[in-house]
Amino acid sequence: MNRIEFINKANSKLKLVRTEYGYNQEKMATVLGISKKTLVEIEKGRSSLGWTGAVAFCSIFFKSEVLSAAFGGETTDIIMALAFEKGEPKYPKTMGGKIWWRTIEEIDGLKIQQNIISQHYRAIDAEDRRICASFNLDEVKEYLEA
């Protein structure tokens, strides 16, 4: 799959995902940060989400059964593979949570931390490199268990 195929598939599933979530066009447009007119044009096949819009759409609705069926699971790996065609970058070393973070739990040398301002969670390795992040602590734990 290349970026154009990814975008086209996202475009074609937009209306189905909107229906799956019970959103009207106005609500879906607001969630995606586009105008209702643009949403209508995309749903009619006259316009496109483009790369940025498709990434936003698939990231926001990553739990969609419609998208899972269309892409064969969560779209995160596909997005990362397409974004970094020569391999996912090694995340830069963080400060280890000295500022903005409190450690919630340590599992097998990995730290789960919570940001004191945004309240989101992240996991970092022994070298203080980010592994994953989420606003849901259970999702971070599940990622580490996989």
Q: What residue type is 42 in one-letter code?
A: I
Confidence label for 5 from pLDDT (cuts 50, 70 and 90): very high
Q: Give the percent of the chain with pLDDT over 70.
A: 95
Mean pLDDT of 10-36: 98
- How many angstroms from the chain centroid is the CA of residue 36? 22
Backbone Cα Rg of the chain = 18
Res 43 pLDDT > 60? yes
Write down the pTM of the prediction: 0.66
Report the C-alpha dihedral over residues 121, 125, 127, 130, rounded to 10 degrees: -40
Summarize pLDDT for 57-114 with one digit per residue, the tens: 999 999 999 999 998 888 887 887 788 776 556 677 888 878 889 999 998 899 999 9
